[in-house]
């Protein structure tokens, strides 16, 4: 039977290091299977998050040979097994232990987003057409794996995560997708444009599209979510004609 050498990050932020494990490779095996093998036969205390093992829940995010990936859909036979496979926790969020990071920041950001506000509270079923929800449904495919947050250099390298002062914050690609899903919902009437500009910091994105590349759901995060939101902000705040109109009339 073929063997793979996994180098898995073990420990906390200070004392952690890569530890070698030899794994027998079965057909179709994914990295998460290998991690489970380690738990089952070598190190029962190896910490890892996972749930569905079917790329539906977005729990098992890690960096495999440096690439932000879902471990449940990263196959061992995609690698050259004569070389070791390195498995590290996602880097952008604080490490708890082994492959598990503290992603609670994301849940805190989500709380700051104004919820869905329907234009009518009537209890009848709404008339909404498929062509009107196609765009929104793309955004709602997001499984909150936070790989886009992990790879985004605004969060990863520049750490724009200050939720306390809400200054210099960037909500990150995940929440641009969430905001786009709300803003483009045909029945929603809340206005989140000031929030998107001032608090979510849409201006920080300089369209490197790294988030789009790692999205396991293949959401066109930059093109379909972030750029349209940037355009809405521009329309609202920087349209010269509108600006003049406001100056003259005093209306917003």
Partner 1 sequence: MANLNEKLETHECDVIVIGAGGAGLRAAIEAAERGQKVAVVCKSLLGKAHTVMAEGGIAAAMGNVDPADNWQTHFKDTVKGAKYMNHWRMAQLHAQEAPDRIRELERWGAVFDRTPDGKILQRPFGGHTYRRLCHVGDRTGLEIIRTLQDKVVHTPGVEVFMECTISHLLKDGDRVCGALGYWRENGSFVLFKAKAIVLATGGIGKSFKITSNSWEYTGDGHVLAYDAGAELIDMEFVQFHPTGMVWPPGVAGLLVTEAVRGEGGILTNSQGERFMSKYDPERMELSTRDIVAKSIYQEVKEGRGSPHGGVFLDISHRGAEYIKKKLPSMYHQFKELADVDITKGPMEVGPTVHYVMGGVKVDPETCQSNVPGLFAAGEVAGGMHGANRLGGNSLSDLLVFGRRAGLGASDYVKGLSNQPKVDDTDVEKAIQEMLAPLDRSEGETPYEVHRDLQRVMQTEVGIVRTEEDLKKALTDLKEIQARAEKVKADGLRQYNPGWHLAKDIKTMAKVSEAIARCALQREESRGGHTRLDFPEYSNHWSKHNSIIRKESDGSMTVSTAPLPEMPPELKKLFEEEKH
Tokens, residue 194: 């000031």
Does residue number 15 form part of the binding site for partner 1 (CB under 8 A)? no
For tokens 């995560």, the residue is: 161
Cα 181 from chain centroid? 14
Does residue number 165 form part of the binding site for partner 1 (CB under 8 A)? no
Question: With respect to partner 1, which residue has the nearer C-beta, 111 or 251?
Answer: 111
Q: Which of 1, 3, 14, 44 binds partner 1 (CB under 8 A)?
A: 44
**Least CB distance from residue 149 to partner 1, whole Å?**
14
Does residue number 59 form part of the binding site for partner 1 (CB under 8 A)? yes
Tokens, residue 28: 């179709």
Which helix (H) or strand (E) covers residue 24, if one does?
strand 17-24
Q: Widest CA span of the chain, in angstroms?
A: 78
What secondary structure letter does DSSP report for 72? G
How far apart are alpha carbons 117 and 135 in whole angstroms?
A: 18
Residues 98-157 interacting with partner 1 (rule: CB under 8 A): 98, 100, 102-104, 107, 110-111, 115-116, 118, 121, 123-130, 133, 136-137, 140-144
How far apart are alpha carbons 162 and 32 in whole angstroms?
A: 32
Does residue number 224 form part of the binding site for partner 1 (CB under 8 A)? no
Residues in contact with partner 1 by CB under 8 A are 26-30, 33, 39-41, 43-59, 73, 75, 96-98, 100, 102-104, 107, 110-111, 115-116, 118, 121, 123-130, 133, 136-137, 140-144, 182, 185, 188
């Amino acid at each position: 039977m073929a063997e793979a050498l996994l180098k898995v990050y073990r420990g906390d932020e200070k004392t952690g290091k890569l530890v070698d494990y030899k794994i027998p490779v079965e057909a179709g095996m994914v990295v998460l299977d290998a991690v489970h093998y380690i738990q089952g036969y070598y190190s029962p205390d190896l910490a890892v998050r996972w749930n569905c093992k079917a790329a539906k829940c977005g729990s098992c995010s890690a960096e495999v040979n440096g690439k932000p990936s879902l471990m449940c859909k990263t196959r061992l036979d995609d690698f050259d097994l004569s070389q070791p496979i390195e498995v590290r926790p996602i880097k952008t969020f604080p490490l708890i232990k082994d492959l598990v990071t503290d992603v609670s920041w994301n849940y805190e950001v989500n709380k700051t987003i104004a919820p869905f506000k329907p234009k009518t509270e009537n209890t009848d079923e709404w008339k909404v057409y498929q062509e009107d929800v196609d765009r929104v449904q793309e955004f709602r495919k997001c499984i909150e794996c936070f790989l886009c947050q992990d790879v985004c250099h605004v969060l990863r390298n520049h750490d724009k995560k200050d939720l306390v002062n809400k200054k210099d914050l960037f909500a990150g690609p995940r929440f641009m997708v969430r905001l786009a899903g709300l803003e483009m919902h045909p029945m929603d009437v809340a206005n989140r444009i000031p929030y998107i500009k001032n608090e979510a910091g849409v201006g920080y994105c300089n369209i490197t599209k790294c988030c789009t590349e790692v999205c396991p759901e293949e959401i066109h995060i930059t093109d379909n979510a972030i750029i349209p939101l940037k355009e809405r902000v521009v329309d609202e705040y920087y349209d010269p004609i509108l600006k003049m109109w406001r100056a003259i009339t005093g209306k917003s």
